[in-house]
Amino acid sequence: MPTYYPQIYGGVITQRPYVAALEYLTSVAQQASGPRYGYAWRDEPLGRWELRYAALREADVQALETFFAQMEGRLGEFTYLDPGGNLVRYSEDFSHSSWERYTVTTGGATTDPFGGNRAMRCTGTSGNSMLATYVLPEGGASGFTICGSVWVRAQAAQQLAIGFIDSGFNVVSHRTWELPAGRWVRIWCPVALATNSNIRLLIGGFGTWGAVTLDLFGAQCAPTPGPGGYQRTPGNYGLHAKCRFDQDQLEIEYAGPNAASAVVRIVEYR
């Protein structure tokens, strides 16, 4: 079961400004005669984050210090759920094998809510169509707050549910939204997990997706209380399983009682 970097009050992992970086490693030799030889050491970039906590309560400080002590500074390994990433593996490609399609047929690309052409037309073929994808494949996140979301455009006014299910298809949480005809709506559902089961994001179900076509775009799950800004995947996947602190010293600065600040640096490795 993974050890996750902790959330502090209300399901927050960091405060703003939040710095997140993905980093490649390239060796370059530029010859005096002109040619340039490059070698890419990483096929996939590694993450690097700087969490600048500007306002921490004493309980938050204790949570951070306890986790830092548990990890023994740079020694321990943990899983970092990037609040600036997306826990859905393929946020725009609902035909990908990471999506479980229950009586849903995926179609071609269509206009998205941002003026591009990256949405996908998905057609239900029964009275209870749904899509599901793993967002916490290893589970073990009891007590964590996550939020799932997706943009939807219905051809006629209808309802649509969004929520989470566990490994046994038990509903962890869900919300049902009213969709107007022909307009993009971002529907979302937060949950404070009370199970260590693995977790899947669910779109549809509860009899809300019949034999109709819906345009879907930007499925997202973030380890935050709200849906957050859209992050596309693949490209900005939010689950980083091999991370460590990039510091052996955790310094807390107190401006007063229940008013502390700290900077935490985290790096990912292979």
Partner 1 sequence: MPSFPEIRSGSAALYPMRRARIHGTAVIRFVDDTEQRWRSSPPMMQFVLEYRDINGYDLSRLLEFFRTVKGRFDTTWDITVGGVTYHHMMFDGDAFEVVESKPDRYTVRLTCRQWRRE
Tell me which stretch binds partner 1 (CB under 8 A): 25-33, 54-62, 191-199, 250-258.
25-33
Residue 218 to residue 88: CA distance in whole angstroms: 9
- Comparison of 41 and 108: residue with beta carbon closer to partner 1: 41
Asked if residue 228 binds partner 1 (CB under 8 A), the reply is yes
Smallest gap from Cβ 223 to partner 1, in A, equals 14
Tokens of 121: 């037309």
- Comparison of 46 and 212: residue with beta carbon closer to partner 1: 46
- Comparison of 104 and 112: residue with beta carbon closer to partner 1: 112
145-154 and 184-192 strand pairing = antiparallel
CB count in 10 Å sphere of residue 185: 16
Tell me which stretch binds partner 1 (CB under 8 A): 24-32, 72-80, 199-207, 237-245.
24-32
* Alpha carbon distances (Å) from 80 to 3, 217, 232: 9, 25, 18
Smallest gap from Cβ 18 to partner 1, in A, equals 5
Q: Does an H or E element contain 243, and which?
A: strand 239-245
State which of residues 28, 31, 256, 270 lies at the interface with partner 1 (CB under 8 A). Answer: 28
- For partner 1, how many residues bind (rule: CB under 8 A)? 33
Smallest gap from Cβ 226 to partner 1, in A, equals 8
Tell me the backbone φ, ψ of residue 216, rounded to 5 degrees: -120, 145
Long-range contacts of 61-66 (CB under 8 A, 24+ apart): 61/252, 61/260, 61/262, 63/6, 63/8, 64/6, 64/8, 64/250, 64/252, 64/262, 64/264, 65/250, 65/252
* Residues 110-129: x where in contact with partner 1 by CB under 8 A, - otherwise, as a string: ----xxx-------------
State which of residues 7, 60, 84, 201 lies at the interface with partner 1 (CB under 8 A). Answer: 84
- Comparison of 45 and 107: residue with beta carbon closer to partner 1: 45
Site for partner 1 in 36-55 (CB under 8 A): 36, 38-40, 42-43, 45, 48
91 in Cβ contact with 233 (< 8 Å): yes
Asked if residue 265 binds partner 1 (CB under 8 A), the reply is no
- Comparison of 20 and 104: residue with beta carbon closer to partner 1: 20
State which of residues 9, 24, 169, 254 lies at the interface with partner 1 (CB under 8 A). Answer: 24
Tell me the backbone φ, ψ of residue 260, rounded to 5 degrees: -120, 160
- CB under 8 Å to 127, separation ≥6 — which residues? 207, 210, 211
* Residue ranges that bind partner 1, judged by CB under 8 A: 16-26, 28, 30, 34, 36, 38-40, 42-43, 45, 48, 84, 114-116, 228-232, 235-236
